[in-house]
Structure 1
């Protein structure tokens, strides 16, 4: 167990759920901040903090990235998003599934024996997160207001998309490039 990673992960999780963030940001943006904190910030810290436990998880990086893609895009379909956004069991299922697939992606991609495959998984994740964030920012209307029964808030959706771009894209991209460098360093050392 490595507290240097687990303590910030715990602080992030406590912060996104217990701080009164709804007072300073739109509902959709807060919902997206929680998603991105789970998959792109807390999950890798948890995997690094519990490295020995997650070494036993033998998920292929690209398979984990594909499952994560399906889960993330699935929950962003309007009907599924409404189930997760309106609270209760749906919210727990949505956020729990994000954390679980985030853990599997990072556990698979941070495997020491496959840095190039891990880089591929993270770069694939970076691309689809970037695309989804861009779609949310560029949509001409609030995609979820009608099905969620909320007042349309295009700017809140755009802020949420920008959060996805600002958090997910660089985290996955930088980690993928770092793993690529690791793989290249191993090949030149051999």
Structure 2
């Protein structure tokens, strides 16, 4: 297949029949392979919500926590990365205040739904269960998207808000948002793990896991939150911090869709000049 001819600015001018136009060193439209985070996120959400877990979660706090962590700690970051690749620049130039607000919003959502009255109601009422799961996804996506967006270039090569061309404050806020979320998830997980009594009325509302008491089931849920939730947001914060320390976003590539991507696509032969 023809690769076209080189123009004066070094980009490729493609003729009819070529796969995709290329700007600089990267395709204008990402290949299907580059969208694997988006595909994986949607597949995981389908498995979590339409598989056996919703029915199992009615009788097991630990199963409910598996759904929760699968949504906010695995599907949400993959979805944020996939959307950033599908629409380059969509999340660019996120201000510091928005990144911190996203972290606070997720704190309210997570701790609110784990209040005994709301949690018990969501275990037995389908409309509340749907609202809970939807708010988990939206809050998680809000945090991850704003955190990644703070490390992308904004309009006219700026990052973050105001006239700070380095965007250091915004990028620091993105890192802080992920790390603060990791901290409050760790705290909630520890509370569930070390509580001397069941915090929820699962023993009366539903049938707990046959092999565990309600307290053991709750403790297992706390371990899942500690290991998956706390670790995922901590890892995300550290990866984003490393990308910030490497230098200003966009310094090595003109496109910003991959600036904060922890899994940047590899450049193929088609993408090379």
Match of 1:92 among 99, 121, 130: 130
| Superposition pairs of residues 131-146 of structure 1, within 5 angstroms | 131-145=187-201
- Tell me the C-alpha RMSD between the 2 structures: 2.6
TM-score, scaled relative to structure 1: 0.88
CA distance in 1, matches of 2:93, 2:205: 40
CA distance in 2, matches of 1:39, 1:137: 20
Contact map agreement 1:115 1:182 (CA 8 A) in 2: no
Q: 1:94–1:24: structure 2 CA closer, same or farther, 3 Å change rule?
A: closer
Match of 1:50 among 83, 88, 111: 83
Residue by residue, what CA displacement relative to the aligned partner does 1:56-87 show, whole Å, maximum 9, x if unpaired?
A: 79472111000110111011111111121213
Q: Is 2:146 aligned against 1:108? A: yes
Q: Which has the higher contact order (CA 8 A, sep 6+)?
A: 1
Q: Is 2:225 aligned against 1:164? A: yes
CA distance in 1, matches of 2:194, 2:109: 22
**Greater mean deviation of Cα atoms: 26-35 or 88-97:** 26-35
Residue segments in structure 2 that go unaligned for 5+ positions in a row: 1-29, 152-158, 160-169, 208-212, 252-273
Q: 1:67–1:28: structure 2 CA closer, same or farther, 3 Å change rule?
A: same
The Cα shift of 1:108 comes to 0.8
Question: Which aligned segments of 4 or more residues in structure 1 are displaced greater than 6 angstroms?
Answer: none
TM-score, scaled relative to structure 2: 0.63
Residue segments in structure 1 that go unaligned for 5+ positions in a row: none
Task: State the number of aligned residues.
Answer: 188
CA distance in 1, matches of 2:51, 2:126: 19
**Greater mean deviation of Cα atoms: 138-147 or 24-33:** 24-33
Larger radius of gyration: 2
Contact map agreement 1:26 1:156 (CA 8 A) in 2: no
Structure having the higher helix fraction is 1
